[in-house]
Amino acid sequence: MKREPFVAAREARWIRLEDLLAQLRSVRRNAAPKDVAELPAAYRRVCQDLALARRRMYGRELTERLNRLALAGREQLYRLPARFAQRAIDFIAAEFPRKVREEARLFWLATAAFLVPALAVAAIALTRPDLLYALVDAEQLHEAERMYDPANGGVTELRDAGGNVKMFAFYIYNNVGIDFRTFAGGFLFGVGSLAVLVFNGIHLGAIVGHFLHIGYETTLLPFVVGHSSLELTAMLIAGVAGLRLGSALLAPGRRSRGRAMVEVAPHCLQLLVGAGGMTALAAFIEGFWSAQPLPDSVKYAVGAVLWSAVATYFVFAGRRRAA
Amino acid sequence: MTDRLDTVRTIEAPEGVELSLRIAGPYPRAIAFVVDFLLQGLLVAAMSLVAILGFDLGQAAVLLTFFFLAWFYPVAFEQFWRGATPGKRALGLRVVRDDGAPVGWRESLLRSFLSPVDALPVLFGVGLCSAIASRSFKRVGDRVAGTVVVYDDEHARSPVLPKAEPMHPPFALTMEEQSALVEFAARTRSWPPARAAEIADHLEPLSEARGTDGVRKLHGMALWIEGQR
């Protein structure tokens, strides 16, 4: 068959498909034009036309036009269904804790990478306070001291309602951003993620140890006891996401490193999205609850509830409907 | 076939046909990045004006804007604007999955969350190295998410071949040779004539002519291959 009759016999069909695709692109998701049922067949026929045109060498202009049409058809045919709410509920209720349990070993590794330096530095701060300044920036430590000084009334006195919103925004910007960076650091064979965990451990150990030493714990602990449950756990999970990516690079098994990474990436992303959500929730608590001027006993009680809720969630949620 | 001649990536669709995507190189992507960067800068500047009005609340709004621009600006545009941020749209680029399908939330989020690695150590050094070392110019985010940045052919027009007398090549050419000849003809317009002649001189055994004569003969053969007889 010559090129001209080939085109003449199909031109009308191609134009019809082009129209349909243009309509599909312009409408919102879910609101499909009525002849959308024609799409799969029309797309397959264009694929066939393209294969023929290539094989018979009908020229670049025609093959490029058909290639374009086939790609556009593919874009519409394979676009994702939007069932966002259901997927979000499933994720929170079952998928996320399950994913975390799947990575129990990496979770404990991340916990060790964080807690061991934290405890070591806290011990140094309590026993050899002079050595502490070799480990952390003195200026930062003094800054923290000013903020938590019981003589200033602690954190609560410094905030009004606008201050709460501002701090909430800051915690979102800073802490959730750190989660994402911790994950990205995992690409450097996991080293970046580990480093973030270790540095955070050193920093936290220094503050807590130093404050215990100078007797500021009465302002620090009631403030952090609530949100720390979510914030620290989320940081560890972000670390797990990064370590999982790094371990795919370190030990890809019987796949290429690139392939191993692409295969593990969705799993890491789910861990990271969960961690980001938890950190955002922690930011909300830190912004609007932790600095409320309430008796310490209330703060500790709420903190205990939050910590046990987090633990219960990760130990038990999503076990029944095992996939 | 054209894979070795050009930055075209061929994907095999389940429907049994090969589709080709034109991969975008580092240069247009860098420009697209700068456009996006300026746009984000404008947004931040506008937000800062708001911040002056209300003190704490304004600062809160600026911080949240920073956060969402830094991490979700590309994600939102890729999801709701056919895989392209305004910068990419301006350059006619688009992000698609390795198999040519549109990017989902998963791919967009992974690309975005990995951009800090690409930005290391300065000026997207890691990303550039990764792109140069990859056949499809993939930055780290593209590698992990399984995506490529391609020219959006919806807006591209295939270049018109220069006019000449169509002529039969003197002997049978392989598919690859034919496609090289057509690519040559399509591109001569953007070169000075002397450069075109210089390249055409290498094909003297085929055209049996040198200089502009040779170029004209090659154009004729390209037209013949493209179906004008």
Length of chain A: 323
Contact (CB, 8 A) for B143 and A258: yes
pTM of the model: 0.75
Position B1 scores a pLDDT of: 43
Same domain, A124 and A244: yes
Kindly report the backbone phi and psi dihedral angles of residue B97, in degrees, each rounded to the nearest multiple of 5, phi listed first. -70, 165
Chain A environment of B153 (Cβ under 8 Å): 64, 67-68, 71
The whole-number pLDDT of residue A149 equals 73
CB atoms within 10 A of CB B183: 15
Q: Are residues A105 and A56 in the same domain?
A: no
Reported as a pLDDT band with limits 50, 70 and 90, residue B161 is confident
Task: Please indicate, yes or no, whether residues A132 and A269 belong to a single structural domain of this protein.
Answer: yes
Question: Under a CB-based contact definition with an 8 Å cutoff, are residues A264 and A291 in contact?
Answer: no
Tokens in use for A277? 């959500």
This model of the complex carries an ipTM of 0.75
* Residue B14 touches partner A, C-beta closer than 8 Å: no
For residue A323, the model assigns a pLDDT of 46
**Tokens, residue A300:** 């500790």
Q: Identify whether A186 is part of a domain.
A: yes
Whether A322 is in a domain gets the answer: no
Do A152 and A299 lie in one domain? The reply is: yes
| Residue ranges covered by each domain of chain B | 2-151, 175-225
Average pLDDT over residues B71-75: 92
d(CA B116, CA A267): 19
Q: Are B140 and B118 within 8 A, CB to CB?
A: yes
Residue A241: inside a domain, yes or no? Answer: yes
d(CA A189, CA A92): 29
Please state, in angstroms and rounded to a whole number, the distance separating the CA atoms of residues A305 and A310. 9
Which neighbouring-strand residues pair with B11?
B19
Contacts of A170 in chain B (CB under 8 A): 60, 63
Report yes or no: B70 at the A interface, CB cutoff 8 Å. yes
At A88, list the tokens: 């979000």
User: If you average pLDDT over residues B62-89, what whole number do you get?
Assistant: 89
Is B5 at the interface with chain A, CB within 8 A?
no
Burial class (CB in 10 A: 0-12, 13-18, 19+), A269: buried
CA A78 to chain centre: 25
A321 is a domain residue: no
Burial pattern B189-209, b for ≥16 Cβ within 10 A else e, equals eeeeeeebbeebeebeebbeb
**Element holding A173 (H helix, E strand):** none
Whether residue A17 is found in the same domain as residue A88: no
Q: Nearest CA to CA, how far is A309 from chain B (Å)?
A: 28
The alpha carbon of residue A307 is apart from the nearest alpha carbon of chain B, in Å, by: 27
Give the pLDDT confidence score for residue A90 in this predicted structure: 84
Q: Which residues from A are below 8 Å from B71, CB to CB?
A: 176-177, 180
The residues in A 27-46 lying below 8 A from B, measured between CB atoms, are: 43-44
Determine the distance in angstroms separating the CA of A246 from the nearest CA of chain B, rounded to an integer.
11
Asked if B115 reaches chain A (Cβ–Cβ under 8 Å), the answer is yes
Whether residues B117 and A169 touch (CB distance < 8 A) is answered with no
Q: Whole domain around residue A23: which residue ranges?
A: 3-77
Where among A51, A77, A103 does a domain terminate? A77
Q: Decide if A68 and B154 are in contact by the 8 Å CB cutoff.
A: yes
The answer on A176 and A291 residing in a single domain is: yes
Q: Kindly state whether residue A244 falls inside one of the protein's structural domains.
A: yes
B160: closest chain A residue by CA? A61
DSSP 8-state secondary structure symbol assigned to residue B170: S
B63:A166 CB<8 A? yes
In the numeric block, the tokens 């061929």 are attached to B10
B-chain CB neighbours of A3 within 8 Å are 227
pLDDT at residue B136, as a whole number: 85
Per the structure, the count of domains in chain A is 2
pLDDT along chain A (323 residues), means of 10: 84 91 73 77 91 82 86 82 77 89 93 94 86 78 76 60 80 89 90 93 88 80 86 94 93 90 92 93 87 83 92 87 51
Last residue of a domain, one of A77, A106, A134: A77
Final residue of a domain: which of A77, A108, A135?
Answer: A77
What pLDDT, on a 0 to 100 scale, did the predictor assign at position A152? Answer: 64
pLDDT band at B207 (very low <50, low <70, confident <90, very high): confident
Min Cα–Cα distance to chain A from B148, Å: 13
**Interfacial A residues in 56-75 facing B (CB < 8 Å):** 57-62, 64, 67-68, 70-72, 74-75
For residue A188, the chain B residues in CB contact (below 8 A) are 117
Pair A210, A102 in one domain? yes
Q: B170 with B208: CB under 8 angstroms?
A: yes
- A267 and A227 in a common domain: yes
B205 inside 8 A of chain A by CB: no
Nearest Cα to Cα of residue A112 among A240, A208, A221, A244: A240
Which tokens sit at B15?
């429907």
Cα–Cα distance, A270 to A264 (Å, whole number):
10
Q: Which residues of B touch A261 (CB under 8 A)?
A: 143-144
Lowest mean pLDDT among A28-32, A35-39, B100-104, B142-146: A28-32
Q: State mean pLDDT over B4-27.
A: 76
